[in-house]
Structure 1
Amino acid sequence: MYVRSTAVVLGDREPVQDAVAAGRYDPAVREAHGYESISVAGSGCAADMAVEAARTAIARSAVDHADIGVFVHAYVDEQGPEGVAEPASYVQGMAHDGRARALGLRQGCNSAIASLELGAMYVSAGGAAVLTSADKYGRQVDRYREDQGAVAGDGATAMVLARGSGVARLLSTEIVGDGRLSRLTPLDPGRFDDQQAYRTAQRRRVVSMMRTMTEAKRDCLRAVLADAETGPEDVRHWLLPYSGRFLVDRDLYAEFGIDDERTTWGLGRTIGHLISGGDPFVGLTHLLETGAVEVGDRVVMMGDSTGFAFGGAVLEIAAPAAWPVGP
């Protein structure tokens, strides 16, 4: 099966130095993570960003609307618009001229990769699938203070998956879940007297869970590569979550021969982390639209949700992007 098309909708780039100057972002944390800017959307809601991305991806795919059998929408936080209880159905109804299954999927920062595996299961039985994710930060805590591991960005992604032909062939997917880590969900900064106490507690938890998380991520990558009959040395591009540099697993990088030059961190550091897991989809779209990939290149997409699930997919580029790209 093939990726027929992809699309991305992002907000305006907000320089992180502005947040530092305004006292919103700790300069030491900014230095540790290396973000340059964050994607911040204006008016509108997350679900409408997903609708825009889906419409673009469907148009680019040239798939007949009648052949689309399922929409899988990955999300974490409130999607909107007001009064809409089921965002997946909303995205399907607004982006698609016809009927189709509409499934919402919530698996934290692994949601988008999980939607790829779920969509592939459907496509293997026939029809086409539209996969979307969307995030627009709206929590009470400032996005620059909410998570010491990443800064949340706003954005939506879409992918059309079908049989026949496309820009990339899906070789394998893998999800490794470990619910035993569910008690290690992020701490609530509001429970602490000050930021220093919060950071100390957060670091203590991070150190204790990183060992277990690293092994789960390694097992996931080993499995997805083996299923695709691909060695780490065969991978041209690694599309990883846009978490800050402080939490980069250098041991994982060393085992699989990953270096920053073969990731899309140069782009990710200007966007921030899409908490529904859209980061590798943004990266794939960027590679296709900039011509940074060649036919035959192997690409690994990876997602992870702290304490819950780790996902991966291997693609082989099959054709250049056929859709026009704006300036």
Structure 2
Amino acid sequence: MRTDDLYIAGLAAHVPRVLPVADAIAAGRPGAEQARADGWTGVSVADGTPAPDLAAEAARLALKRSGLAAEDVCLVLHAGTYHQGPDGWYAANYVQDRVLGTTAPAIGLDQGCTAMLDATRLAHGHLVHAPENSAVLVSAADNFGTPAVDRFTYAHGWGAGRGSILGDAGCAVLLSATGGPLRIRSLAQSSLSSWERVYRGTEEMFPPSGAGGTAVPLGVRMGTYADSVTDQDLRRAMARELVEARTRLARQVIEEAGITAADVTRVTHVFSGHPRYLEGLLGPLGIDPGRGMLELGRSLGHLGACDQYLSLAHLVDTGAVGPGDHVLLTANGAGISLAAAVVEVLEHPAR
């Protein structure tokens, strides 16, 4: 979908302290040695700071950078890939109260690692019918430091080379239909719903597990499901289906943005510690994996829904991209959900 009238008016991220993987190894942290072998160098750790506070910190800065007033925000969308607080309580209203103090609708999204791009699509539709000069605040955050998650071992059990560690962060973006230093040129989503069983594994759906319950065995679930698929041709076909769907979506947004793969300056994506992920993601597009965000990701861990926009904020804040550059945003998450977008830098944003 081409999106000529969708702008990023403000963008910011909040990253707490970074724990070097070497320090985790020295402390005897299980899984830390494997994390280093998988390419990770650090992981962001929020300690006791609630995830919504990480989002609120990023949202305050994004609002300041946008030059917009709190009253201009006609919708708040907040996402997280993990528990945000007490069951029966919703973080979107908390972020709104702490940052805006307004009465616009506040809605939470439960869409995993594609959530911020999914929220961007929803924001675009909302802005089409909103009063002139309106904006939508999209935020996301996670703090994985609970007894139910081991950030170093959560993915263990899902085959060789599937190393992933979880970091904590918050990110926020102010979207406008009237202007901003960055323009979203195209945006698309897709899903491979038959893959939901990969993330569910053989675990019972009821009663649902909670933050205070047993450990989240995501890697074990995936490994269990993979082991149940004994037909090797079927396993190869499933892997090929994911690669083809992801590539097709990226090509779609590049074409709809009116550019070619050669025009893509940088690519933001789910953080990985190993270059194999980027080679599989960007190779089919003919894009040099060096245009990805490997080193940034390695230093922070996978940040749930924040990877793509946090990377974009990093590129803009450090001057790695400037006016005339195009950034491809790609995401894939549990479900499986897929999303992609192309962002054009129009001018240097306010700091």
How does the TM-score come out when normalised to structure 1?
0.88
Partner of 1:4: 9
Matched, 1:303 2:310: no
Which consecutive residues of structure 2, in runs of 5 or more, have no partner in the other structure? Answer: 1-5, 157-161, 204-213, 230-234
Which deviates further from its counterpart, 15-24 or 309-318? 15-24
Rounded to whole Å, the distance in 1 between the matches of 2:190 and 2:49 is: 34
> Which residue identity lines up with residue 131 of structure 1 in the other structure?
V
Q: How does 1:267-286 map to 2 (within 5 A)?
A: 267-275=296-304, 277-286=305-314
Superposed CA deviations along residues 11-36 of structure 1, whole A, max 9, x for unmatched, are 211111233341411534531x2110
Matched, 1:108 2:112: yes
Superposed CA deviations along residues 130-177 of structure 1, whole A, max 9, x for unmatched, are 010001002524211111441110000000011222121111110011
Partner of 1:214: 243
Which deviates further from its counterpart, 222-231 or 127-136? 222-231
> Which residue identity lines up with residue 132 of structure 1 in the other structure?
S
Q: 1:147 aligns with which of 144, 147, 155?
A: 155
Whether the 8 Å CA contact 1:36–1:270 is kept in 2: the answer is yes
> Which residue identity lines up with residue 329 of structure 2 in the other structure?
M
Partner of 1:319: 347
> Which residue identity lines up with residue 173 of structure 2 in the other structure?
M
SS in 1 for 2:25: helix
Which consecutive residues of structure 1, in runs of 5 or more, have no partner in the other structure? Answer: none
Which deviates further from its counterpart, 243-252 or 261-270? 243-252
Rounded to whole Å, the distance in 2 between the matches of 1:205 and 1:271 is: 33
SS in 2 for 1:220: helix
Partner of 1:260: 289
Rounded to whole Å, the distance in 1 between the matches of 2:215 and 2:52 is: 28
Whether the 8 Å CA contact 1:214–1:249 is kept in 2: the answer is no
How does the TM-score come out when normalised to structure 2?
0.83
Q: How does 1:1-80 map to 2 (within 5 A)?
A: 1-21=6-26, 22-25=28-31, 27-31=33-37, 33-80=38-85
Distance 1:135 1:62, change over 3 A: same
The percentage of counterpart residues that share the same residue type is: 29
Shift of the alpha carbon at 1:263?
1.6
Superposed CA deviations along residues 196-241 of structure 1, whole A, max 9, x for unmatched, are x889658758965432211221121122112212211110010111
Rounded to whole Å, the distance in 1 between the matches of 2:329 and 2:81 is: 19
Rounded to whole Å, the distance in 2 between the matches of 1:296 and 1:246 is: 27
> Which residue identity lines up with residue 285 of structure 1 in the other structure?
A
Distance 1:36 1:101, change over 3 A: same
Matched, 1:92 2:101: no
Whether the 8 Å CA contact 2:45–2:167 is kept in 1: the answer is yes
Superposed CA deviations along residues 263-306 of structure 1, whole A, max 9, x for unmatched, are 2221111111112x210111111111111112010111111114
Rounded to whole Å, the distance in 2 between the matches of 1:103 and 1:67 is: 17
> Which residue identity lines up with residue 274 of structure 1 in the other structure?
L
Distance 1:198 1:95, change over 3 A: closer
Distance 1:131 1:139, change over 3 A: farther
Whether the 8 Å CA contact 1:46–1:134 is kept in 2: the answer is yes
Partner of 1:168: 182
Distance 1:298 1:103, change over 3 A: same
Rounded to whole Å, the distance in 2 between the matches of 1:269 and 1:19 is: 15
Rounded to whole Å, the distance in 1 between the matches of 2:115 and 2:273 is: 19
